[in-house]
Structures are given as C-alpha cells and as structure tokens.
Structure 1
Amino acid sequence: MKKIALTVILCTLITLSINAQSGCSKYYPMVEGASFQYTMYNKKGKTDGITDYKITNVTNSGGSTSATFDIKFTDDKGKDVFSTNYNINCSEDGIKIDYTSLFPSAMMKQYEDMGVEMDISGTDIQLPNDLSVGKELQDANVSVSMNMSGIKMKTTVDMINRKVEKKESITTPAGTFDCYLITETSTSKTMGATIETDNKLWLAEGIGMIKQESYKKNGNLMTRMELTKFSK
C-alpha cells in the first residue's frame, strides 16, 4: 500500500507542481488565498478522486517568489487519503521547480520519524514564459530511494519528449479556456514495476493547468484530470 501511495503522490505532485506562479510567470497565479480543485476520472469516466490545494503563504525576495501549497486528496468514496504541503519557487523567466519539493517536507518528516532512510535526486522541472507552438521543453525526473528496516524501495518518475503541440479551446466544469497543449512521455518505476504513459497537459494563461490526460502506449485512455473549481 505504501508503495502504491508513494507512486500516486509523486505523479500527482509532479503534475500539480506545474501550477505554481505569479507575476514571475504569465501562465499561473501565485496569489495567497488562491485555490484550485481538480477531479480525477478513470478510463470509463467515473470519478477516481478529488485534489484540492490552496496557496497559504507567498513571499518575494531577490527577484524570485516562493509559495506554500496546502494539498488534500480525497478518494471516490469521499475519504481523505492524505493532506500535506510543499513549497514552490519561480523567477521572471518562468517556473523552475526544485525536484526535492516534489516530495513534501511533512511526508519526509513522517518517514524520518519512522526511522526510514531516504535519498532524493533528480532534475528540476522548467516551464518558461515564452511558450509557442513547436517549442521543445527540457526533460525532468525525480528519484526517491527508501530503506525501511532493511527493505529497500526505489521510485523514479521521468518526463521526456516534452513539447508544445498546439493552441486550442478547452471546456471543463470551471469554464472555457484558450490553452496551449503540452505533450510528454512519463515513465514511473517502483520495485521492478514500470508504467509508461503518454500525457497531454492543457495550460491557460493566468490560471495554469486546465486539463490533463494519460494514455497507454497503445493509445487507450487511462486517466483524465480537469479543473472543476478555481478562485483567486
């Protein structure tokens, strides 16, 4: 169960961490009090869970902005699965997320209190302000190694072939938005199990992620996540 939970949390945070900016990025607000809600659906269109997050603290220093995000994930039964927080930094060129922030400090402390040895490595996620159709974005990854009383576990998530495909209008329960579509290939590995997906991510100026879809390599839809509530 912990292995599955860790994979879900890492993948969710990597997706949601792209939604963190203010005046240092024209695509996302990073305003104290702003809140977002995303509903996750399975391949049959049924609700798998809801992720709510809220910006609780924003500071500016030396041309960069830092914000604290509170996150709560609720499953399809309405049960709280986990709550945590993490920090994001951005500069005038756009967002650059420290890979260590993808593993929340609160969760890190919980594992440390349990005597779990951890090591995190990776490369930062970057999303520049100057998006345009055809633009290629840098790859990103994060790797978490854990040693739990002699039981070793390693989870890695790699995002490659990131590219801005086109502009199009997207409608969700939160409204209709003009978006850039970014595509990428994501590979998640945990304890010998590998999940490779092709992902589509729609971004709207001033709001951030509007919709995200993940597909198997054969082209079949696996999951969909879309913005259902937003306020700032």
Structure 2
Amino acid sequence: MKTKLLFTLALLTCITTSIAQDNCSKFYPMNEGVSMEYTNYNKKGKVEGVSSYKVVEAINNGNVTNATMAIDLKDNKGKDAYSTTYNLTCTGNMVTLDYESLLPSEMMEQYGDMDIEISGNDIEIPNDLSVGQKLNDANVAMKISMSGINMNMTVDMTNRNVEKKESISTPAGTYDCYVLYSENRSKMMMANQVYPSRVWLAEGVGMVKQETYKKNGDLMSSTLLTAHSK
C-alpha cells in the first residue's frame, strides 16, 4: 500500500504541472485527445518504465473547467504495471487537483472492508509564475482502521518555489522552462523520509522533466518527456 501511494505522489507532480486549460492557464492547451509520453529512469539512467498520459474528457462550465486524464504505466519490459484516471479543476488563474482522486481504484478495492479517512490540501499551479516566487504547500493524509488498529500515512509537499528558468532539450523537442523545487516528506508509522524534487515546466506543454533526490542531494530517479501530441 505504501508503495502505491508513493508512486501516486510521483505521478501527482507530473499530472498537476501537465494539465491546464487555454482559458485558465497558459501552461498546457488542454483538449480532449492530447497526449504525452514520459520515460522514467533510475539513478543510473536506466529505463524503468514509460508512462502514457491522455486527456479523455474536458468540460467547460463558465470559468471552470473539469478534466479527466487517463494514465497508463508500462514497466521496462513493456508490460502493463499501473493504470488510473484523475480528475482536475481549472478555475480562473489556477489549476488544482483533488487528492482523493489520486488513490488508485484497485487499492481502494483491496481495503474496501476497512474504514478509510482521507484529507488534504490541493496542489496549485498559478498562471503567473516568476523566478523566486513562493508557492503554497500541499499535503494528503490517509487513516486506515483495521481490527481496532489505526494506520496513518501523510505526504507533505513543502518549500515549493520557482527556482529559475532554464532551456532543456528532450526527444520531444527543446523548451524554455520554469524550474519548480519542492520537498516531499512522507511519514508512515515510524518511518519519516524527505525527497527533494525539481520539475521543469514549459508554457504550452506542461512538465518536460522531473528529478527526485535523496535528502543529501543524490539523484534517485528522473522522468523525461519523450513524446507530445496535440
């Protein structure tokens, strides 16, 4: 369960920085059928899997856009490893993501007989990013009760800021990006770990690159945009 929720957190950053609407954000022109492909690498640069993202529905209602994205992950052998859908909301100058929609349906089915409580604060990506800008923290908390025993897990995304601008090249093209930094702290039972992260975000495209590090700054994993179709 911990592995699935942490994997969901990794997807979270990709999703939130990849979805927006023409009339509410400049970072991704959302239309049904738009798709992205991201290749995931380990710390040595070896391919660990490929994630496919596709906007399957976008509904406009006044100044609010509700979107659904389907995500499929294949492992390094091309076998299906994970699939889910996410619901997002774009309003005015902000894209937000509902944390409850991040929990994989198969996980909820597995623990369907248990009492589960979920709470949190959405990740926000504003329209007017600038170098040095501080962004709001985000978090999700999950409490599971089983046979009178409570198990708690929290994930906090803190110290979010726009670190710099940088041009980056990938197999999908060359992009001028904002670099967003954050520290992701996960706590489950007595385990408490911190994973700093950077996301390269391009206007009109979304996430181009992501790197996750150990607390000491050593690279743990990375994700790169390898295909993009409007």
TM-score by length of 1: 0.91
Q: Is the 8 A contact 1:7 1:190 kept in 2?
A: no
Counterpart secondary structure, 2:5: helix
Name stretches of at least 5 consecutive residues in structure 2 with no aligned partner: none
> How many Å separate the matches in 2 of 1:6 and 1:184?
18
User: Deviation at 1:204?
Assistant: 0.3
User: Deviation at 1:162?
Assistant: 0.7
Compared CA separation, residues 18 and 153, structure 1 to 2 (3 A): farther
> How many Å separate the matches in 2 of 1:173 and 1:192?
41
Q: Is the 8 A contact 2:87 2:98 kept in 1?
A: no
TM-score by length of 2: 0.92
Compared CA separation, residues 110 and 184, structure 1 to 2 (3 A): same
Equivalent residue letter for 1:128 = P
Q: Is the 8 A contact 1:162 1:183 kept in 2?
A: yes
2:59 aligned partner: 59
1:186 aligned partner: 184
User: Deviation at 1:111?
Assistant: 4.0
Q: Is the 8 A contact 2:27 2:202 kept in 1?
A: yes
Name stretches of at least 5 consecutive residues in structure 1 with no aligned partner: none
1:204 aligned partner: 202
**1:155-197 superposed Cα distances (whole Å, 9 cap, x missing partner):** 3211111111111101111111000011111112233323211
RMSD value, Cα:
1.8
**1:29-50 superposed Cα distances (whole Å, 9 cap, x missing partner):** 2210011111111110001111
> How many Å separate the matches in 1 of 2:30 and 2:114?
33
Q: Is the 8 A contact 1:10 1:103 kept in 2?
A: no
1:166 aligned partner: 164
Q: Is the 8 A contact 1:25 1:93 kept in 2?
A: yes
Q: Is the 8 A contact 2:87 2:97 kept in 1?
A: no
Q: Is the 8 A contact 1:199 1:215 kept in 2?
A: yes
Q: More displaced, 64-73 or 139-148?
A: 139-148
2:95 aligned partner: 95
Equivalent residue letter for 2:133 = K
User: Deviation at 1:55?
Assistant: 0.6
**1:96-154 superposed Cα distances (whole Å, 9 cap, x missing partner):** 222323325x3465246x41321111111111101011111101111122235556433
